[in-house]
Amino acid sequence: MGASFVGRPFFFQWQLDFQPERGVTQIAVLPETELEMPDNVLLHPPHLPLIAPSILAADFTKLGAEAADAERCGADMLHVDIMDGHFVPNLTMGPDIVMALAKACNLMQDVHLMVSNPDEHIEAFCKAGAKNLTFHIEVRHGDGALDLIQRIHDLGCTAGISLNPATPVSDLIPVMHAADMILVMSVVPGYTGQAFMPETLDKVRFLRHELAPHQRLQIDGGIGIRTAHAALEAGADVLVAGAAVFRNPERAQTIKLLRGDYPK
């Protein structure tokens, strides 16, 4: 009986076919369309909480290596911050970066759309390999938000809705039942490395109570070893961490500590 092995080093995927009587019968580089896509861990979490390092805080001179290192250090998914210079002042990345990251690591990509016109970009990000797309309630609410969630689902991705620190949690109530994840911003979005806003934990507590068990509750901004504990206690189960992971030489240990795996 023969066997097939598929590997994914940097930037391409290879396949090796082996038969005991004949040895290696074929070595092939697979086209991009045959790249194996990672599972969506939001739908089937292997454990909770999930840790999502934000690639925005990585060294941009070696993004692929940084994503692979996050995977090696135990990250559950990669958080990718898309900023349009309009909804937020900063400009960051687009679908081409998502496509490159998909070749560099096997982590699912959780794309956080800080853009004024998410409808116009969801297809490109899903095609590029994103598995979750989160948009902001400040730009699409009511039926507009429900339609957008349906379109994201039709593209094969899960859908998250985020809210800024200044946005009341009541704005989410008419639509949050349809989302796979709610993302509470614990900084004003725009930059990595900002200070955590503890007052946002009231929203986390409220939402934990209101959401169904299958809905994930993510928190993003200023999460580090100290603030993670408070976020988990309030009910968050997906922690985004930018500077705390990528600007730290002890990445694997930090990810463990963020998850609450304290040394005994």
Looking at the DSSP bridge assignments, the partners of residue 239 are: 51, 219
Which one, 101 or 223, has the nearer CB to ligand DX5? 223
Residue 220 falls in the annotated catalytic set? yes
Check 76, 180, 220, 237 and give the catalytic one. Answer: 220
User: Among residue numbers 160 through 179, which ones bind ligand DX5 (CB under 6 A)?
Assistant: none
Q: Are 50 and 216 in contact (CB under 8 A)?
A: yes
Asked if 192 touches ligand DX5 (CB under 6 A), the answer is yes
Site residues (vs Zn ion, CB under 5 A): 81, 112, 220
CB of 220 to Zn ion, least distance (A): 4
Shortest separation between residue 133's beta carbon and ligand DX5, angstroms: 14
Q: Which of 69, 76, 81, 180 is catalytic?
A: 81
Cβ distance to ligand DX5 smaller for residue 129 or 221: 221
Pairing of strands 132-136, 158-163: parallel
Q: What share of the chain is helix, strand, coil (3-state, %, to 5)?
A: 35, 25, 40
The listed partner (Zn ion, ligand DX5, none) that binds 2, CB under 5 to 8 Å by sort, is: none
Which residues are CB-neighbours of 196 under 8 A, at least 6 positions away?
A: 186, 187, 221, 222, 223, 224, 227
* Total residues found in the chain within this entry: 264
Provide the Cα torsion 229, 199, 196, 216; round to 10°.
Answer: 60
Question: Closer CB to ligand DX5, residue 49 or residue 222?
Answer: 222
Q: In what order do the strands lie in the sheet with 77-83?
A: 50-53, 238-241, 216-220, 181-185, 158-163, 132-136, 108-114, 77-83
- Compute how many residues bind ligand DX5; rule: CB under 6 A: 21
- Residue 223 within binding range of ligand DX5, rule CB under 6 A: yes
Active site residues: 81, 220
Binding site for ligand DX5 (CB under 6 A): 54, 56-57, 79, 81, 112, 187, 189-190, 192-194, 220-223, 240-244
